Chains A and B, each alone.
Chain A
């Protein structure tokens, strides 16, 4: 038994329109996939499989300590 709403939940994005061609200076920033590991810990996320039991907040704190990062938060509480 499958019931569906007429609206699709996941958006599909079309190709970008280029207004003006440009180069980017390799001296600044990093392509996301080439970030050094320390940068990744500032601009990264872990798609964690939360086990049953602990709260989202407890899990987040555990991960924060494990990685030794200053700040961590969770996306969409799962309690």
Chain B
């Protein structure tokens, strides 16, 4: 929504430099919220439970008018809904929803189903994929860490608040590649079996996969063209490289020279 909203707070991952490319992943991740919903009329507990049950699992949602996406009906998932507290018409909810779900719209639609109307009063995000509230950093903490670094040359504080992007991408299945294959992938080359050191056992065709170095650095995100089982049985191209994170030249270019000339 443009213009922002004073009543919305919580976890917002800030991606730095090349890590900015992870924003598409962030968008797709499920998210957990604490939400204060206000009903516009009287609703008994059993009715409220019935209403929430209508959204559990898959449901359809039209993005709000002011959203920056096309206004077509989209399928969303409500994984979990819990009434934490209730004071009359004010309901404190904990929700786990799929990526791209508008909680404000969900609250509005719940009001419609209950027949009394409802709106979202306040929203706090407590988890986005692998990042949860417990490790959240306030602007003040960040400011202090930056100051300590600038004024005293002490990077300890900054290290506590800036995490490796790999921590945030950890929900993707991964493929680990040899040093010799890294630069080719940095140049956008597809990944072939001889470059692979290890692979997640649960990859199926078409899945998004993280391509990592043996040191655990993310090289790129790609799309699996073979399942893990197929990779074990046969050779060929395993993944197409889509989004490159790692700067070219980080690892030496050894590709295209033939195995005998390496080392």
Chain A interface (Cβ < 8 Å from any Cβ of B):
1-11, 13-25, 28-33, 35, 37, 40-56, 58-60, 62-63, 66-67, 69-76, 78-79
Contacts and interface: CB of A to CB of B under 8 A. Distances in A.
A49 B136 contact: yes
Interface of B: 1-20, 22-23, 25-27, 29-32, 45, 48-49, 52-53, 56-57, 77-83, 96, 98-99, 125, 128-131, 133, 135-139, 142-143, 146, 149, 155, 158-159, 161-168, 170-171, 173-174, 176, 178-179, 182, 193, 196-202, 213-218, 228, 231-232, 245-247, 250-252
Contacts of A43: 16-19, 164-166, 217-218, 245
Contact of A40 (B159, B168, B213): B159
Contacts of A48: 11-14, 136-139, 142
Contact of A2 (B80, B136, B173, B247): B80
A15 B198 CA distance: 10
A33 B166 CA distance: 10
Contacts of B22: 45, 75
10 contacts: A5-B56, A5-B80, A16-B200, A19-B198, A37-B158, A51-B9, A56-B4, A66-B143, A76-B13, A78-B11
Which 7 pairs of residues, A with B, have the shortest CB-CB distance?
A75-B26, A42-B17, A55-B4, A32-B164, A24-B214, A49-B136, A75-B13
A33 B7 contact: no
A61 B26 CA distance: 18
A16 B19 contact: no
Contacts of B159: 37, 40
Main secondary structure of the interface of B (DSSP, over half): mixed
A24 B167 CA distance: 20
Count chain A CB atoms within 10 A of each CB in B45, B138, B142 and give the residue with the most.
B142
Nearest to A76: B26
A42 B21 CA distance: 11
A76 B136 contact: no
Nearest to B78: A5
A13 B149 CA distance: 36
Contacts of A60: 12, 14
Given A18-B197, A76-B12, A40 B164 contact: yes
B162 A46 contact: yes
B15 A72 contact: yes
Given A22-B197, A66-B143, A31 B215 contact: yes
A21 B247 CA distance: 25
Contacts of B179: 22, 24-25, 28
